[in-house]
Amino acid sequence: MNKTLIVLGLMTGLIFWIGQSNWLELFSAQQQMTLLVLIVAIYLWTASPIPAGPASFLVLALMIGLGIVESSEMAFRGFLTEALYFILLLSLISQVLVKIGFDRTVAEWFQRVSRGRIKRLIVGLPLLLLLMPIILPSAMARYKILYPLISKINDLYGYSHQSLFKKFGLYVISFFNQKATLIIFTGGGFSVIAYQLMVEYGVGQLRWIEWFTLMAPPLWLAMLLSAAVVWVYLKWRTVEPVANVQHSEGKDVEADIEAKHHQYWLAVIAFGVMILTWILTDPSVFPIILPPMLLVVFYALPQVGLVNNQLIRSFDWESFLLLGTSFSLGMLMADNGTAQVIAEALVEFLPGHDQRVLIVISLVCFIWMMRFMFTNSSSAIAVVFPIFISYAELVNISPIALSLLVIMVIGGTLIIPIHSPSTFYASQEGIISRKEQFVIGFISSLIVSIVAVLAVFLYW
């Protein structure tokens, strides 16, 4: 209740400040209503005074009732986005992988490498997530597979529900995991949109390996630094010891592994074909959503029988409502000019074009401010990218370098839970407190931004 009151107080202060300043005069009546809906949405999805599903219906009702959409159908556009169904498809695929025991295979391999030592598990989990996007591009799929593993290890060692190990593990598979997706442009809705924007604005059409070579080194550096700082913070915040030496060494995490599902290898090989298709085909010719669609259909064939209506019903449809609504709100802000007015107002504060370093730092600050105006990164980059790319020639910075800066900072800025699906799911577990979520998000986002600025001048 106290957390809800704090968030409500902050929102009330923000509304009061906007009302007292002349900043509001820049917006039309429709855009002012859009800002109001945005503030209400952030409050509902951050403080959670009511469940996320009904809260999403309330946001949709406000969009329609306040007349800020031309028709009722316009309020539901977010539910037609490719990114939303990409998440749905990969969630179903991840459930299939869990069903056949692929998560147990990962656990067995992870246990064998770590030799049952909790310290090796703590170090190995982030390292695993650095490479895992290459073979499993979806952050949500990785989250769905690794969370049961972390819970199992936590219970095996006799830790509490909110232990240091489980908190750090949840951070790794949410905040850390979401950023790891950026090393490939086939890693989800945001990466795909970012890649398409680079092509559309003539920045360049990078191949899979070129994107990986440019993005992976600075991103991995930022993620590992973030993980080290977050570990120290969580260790300071958590009273429970990391491990009980008498009972932690040599534990067999997967001693009770069952026999493999009779469709195990068929499902894994088909999954591998999907990954290879992403790597070897041109996404502009062969859409990245097509392979997972075909894979789900393949899994549903009577001869395979791994996907049925019961599996589809088990999907988290409350989160589906929240994400679809957030996409709709982001599109609305872009279409009616609300985001553009905000962007143009903030751009006026940028320094002169002869101060390259200050301009880049100012752009990063600008991205942070814009990121809070959007409930998803895809909508944010769709508005911010066209504005920023025009600064490349003014400050004599490579368009590719400036584009990668925008992508890395927007994709790496995850402060409130609704900034990404995986961080939202992690917040629903009740393991990491709201305060810890904000601190972790701020720390990791700041480190990513600093490394991105350095990469502009030293690497890209």
What does the pLDDT profile of the chain (460 residues) look like in tens digits?
444 554 455 555 555 555 555 666 677 788 888 888 877 877 776 666 778 788 888 989 998 888 888 888 888 887 887 767 877 887 788 788 778 877 677 666 766 766 656 777 788 788 888 888 877 766 776 777 777 777 777 777 777 777 788 888 888 887 888 888 888 776 666 777 777 677 766 777 777 788 888 888 999 999 899 889 988 888 887 765 444 433 444 444 444 445 566 788 888 889 888 878 877 777 667 777 788 899 999 999 988 888 888 888 887 787 788 778 877 877 787 778 776 676 666 666 666 556 777 777 877 887 787 677 666 676 667 666 766 766 666 566 778 888 888 888 888 887 766 666 677 666 666 777 777 778 888 888 899 889 998 988 888 8
Q: Is-contact 377 371, C-beta < 8 A?
A: yes
* HEC profile of 216-266: HHHHHHHHHHHHHHHHHHHHHHCCCCCCCHHHHCCCCCCCCCCCCCCCHHH
Nearest Cα to 114, choosing from 103, 127, 104? Answer: 127
Nearest 10 degrees: Cα torsion 198, 200, 202, 206:
40
Q: What SS3 state is found at 207? A: coil
Q: How far apart are the first and last CA of the chain?
A: 47
CA distance 28 to 223: 41
Tens-place pLDDT, residues 89-117: 877 887 887 788 776 776 667 667 666 56
Q: How many CB atoms lie within 10 A of CB 112?
A: 12
CA distance 277 to 93: 16
Tokens of 191: 């990466």
Q: Is-contact 84 378, C-beta < 8 A?
A: no
CA distance 243 to 114: 15
CA distance 380 to 371: 6
Q: How many CB atoms lie within 10 A of CB 383?
A: 19
Owner of token pair 């406000």: 62
